[in-house]
Amino acid sequence: MNGRKTKGIYTDFYRKWKRENKGINLEQPDIIILPGSKNTIEDLLFLREKGIDQEIKKAHQKGSSVFGICGGYQMLGETIEDPYQVESKKGWIKGLNLLPLKTILTNEKATNRTKGTLTINGQKVDVAGYEIHMGQTIASSSLQSLIILANGADGYKNKSETCIGTYLHGIFHNDEFRKIFLDLIRKKKGLPTSLNRESYVDKQLSDFHRLANTVRDAIDIDRLHKIIEQYPKGKERQ
């Protein structure tokens, strides 16, 4: 699922989700990814209303890995507190209780480009992405930090690395991390490690170049420049 809205949920992946007025049976997926949200409390209430929260917890107990990003990360904890009623008139709500942490929503929004060193399966890899969230997440001392940043840390994971949360959007765009994480899942299933795949960054740059070439072919760039140069800088067209 990627960049599309489903009941207020914005995500780092794209998948068509048919909304129905009934519950859902997750069965036993290898990975459950809880994506970002424009309203964590309301979206968690929606999951609870449809019984999806219990499906997630049952699947995790049976071996599914759960990965929360931003709002999904906040959902993994014991509670989400909203003392300033930023998202809801509710003062607080119970989380999925998959990690011993709590989130306190605040009035200030963090919007940062972020990079750091992530440790998973005993391997350290550099990752980069961005944060855009409201709130601070505080964890029990029993949890391990996921990413070490220049000025602190981000995210947490349990000891078995089967439940992971982070504020870092775009984390799965990091090729080395993605390969290590998916190879962990493949190992659990008795499958060989994945083959080298096309780099996400390389594919993204290739797509940008293809788009730029399409625009150049469709537009008279020189004429566009001349039109722009007709207007003095700093003055708006009347």
> Is 70 in the active site?
yes
Q: Alpha-carbon distance 122 to 101, whole Å? A: 23
Angle at 14 (CA atoms; ends 10, 16), nearest 5 degrees: 100
**Nearest Cα to 103, choosing from 133, 129, 130, 128?**
133
Given the residues 60, 70, 133, 163, the one annotated as active site: 70
Provide the 3-class DSSP secondary structure of residue 118.
Answer: strand
Given the residues 169, 173, 209, 225, the one annotated as active site: 169
DSSP conformational letter for 173 = G
Q: What are the DSSP calls for 119-171, one per residue?
A: EETTEEEEEEEEEEEEEEEEE-TTSEEEEEETTEEEEEE-TTSSEEEES-BTG
User: Residue 128 corresponds to which tokens in the numbers above?
Assistant: 């980069």
For residue 230, which amino acid is it?
A: Q
Alpha-carbon torsion (65, 99, 72, 124), positive or negative: negative
How would you classify residue 190: left for phi > 0, otherwise alpha for psi between -120 and 50, otherwise beta?
A: left
> Is 60 in the active site?
no
Catalytic residue numbers?
A: 70, 169
